[in-house]
Structures are given as C-alpha cells and as structure tokens.
Amino acid sequence: MAVSAGQDDLQGVERTVSRLLASHQMPLPATFSYEFLGMPFDVGVRRDPEGSVQLVVRGRLGNLPYSAESVDVRNLLNSVVDAGHSLPLAEISLDRKQAIVVQGAMTFPSVPSPATIAAGAAAITVAVKPVCELVVKCRAMTDQHTAWQQSA
C-alpha cells in the first residue's frame, strides 16, 4: 500500500513530537490545574528525599449538601465517599468544611517526561470518573429538590 506524501509528512511530525515529549524532563517542582466535569483538579509533581518523583492529583468535587437541602442526596453522597476508599489510584474523603475531595498519587523512579506526567494525571482522573459522574447527578438532584421547594 502506497503512502501519500502528506501522510508520510504527518507520520514524521508525529514521530518527532513523540520523541520530543519522551526526551524532555519536567522541571521540578511543577504544578498545573485543569477542570473535569466542571470540577477543579490540581496537580503537583515533586522529588522525594529518596530521589523518586511523586505525582499528586487532588480534585474538589463539591460540598456535601446540608440535610435541609436534601437528606437523600446527602446520604447518597456520604455513601459515595465511603465507597471511594477502595478506588484504584485514588481515595475520596471529606475535608473539615464538608467538601468532597479526591486525591491520587503515583511515584516514578526518575524524573518523568511531560507526556508521562499528563498520562499519570489522566489515569487518576479516569479512575475517579464514575464518582465524578455520580456527584454531577447528585448535584442535579439537589437543584431539582431546591427548585421544587421554591415552587411549593
């Protein structure tokens, strides 16, 4: 099968970009943030005293609603938080202000490339995706409950 000149050029660019991403090391410490399903996530990358590198991803999924807002949603979200202790790559908990927080970490033996850092953050995000989706649905339930109470 013949490869056109355009496809050959594109494959060359892809190979070059892949090599560049793999060859460049992340300057440490490093931080960045992103949003997933409207929820803020922060990433920190730092070197351990032993020389390895730790990637930590922390997301704030929202606040636990007050019982007056919706007892059912509060109970459901408490169950989600309790179940989140057995997630792969991450753990869910409540902070002192009743915010639902997810945190995951990975350790690398040496300084990883930016592509590896991005892949690690993505893997942790994918691990918590079902929980994030449940929180989004619970928020919608709270919004509907509040709207119903206001119309009554």
Spell out the per-residue pLDDT of the chain, length 152, in tens: 455 555 666 677 777 666 655 656 667 899 999 999 999 999 999 999 888 999 999 999 988 877 666 788 888 888 888 877 778 889 998 899 989 999 999 999 988 888 889 999 999 999 999 889 988 888 787 666 554 444 44
The pLDDT assigned to 58 comes to: 97
> Can you give the length of the chain in residues?
152
Sheet of strand 99-108, all strands in order from the earlier edge strand to the far edge: 30-36, 39-47, 53-63, 99-108, 90-94
Sequence letter at residue 32: F
Against a cut of 0.75, is the pTM above it?
no
Kindly state the tokens that stand for 9: 């050029």
The pLDDT assigned to 147 comes to: 45
CA gap 59, 84 in Å, rounded: 13
Beta-strand pair 90-94/30-36: unpaired
The pLDDT assigned to 137 comes to: 86
The pLDDT assigned to 34 comes to: 94
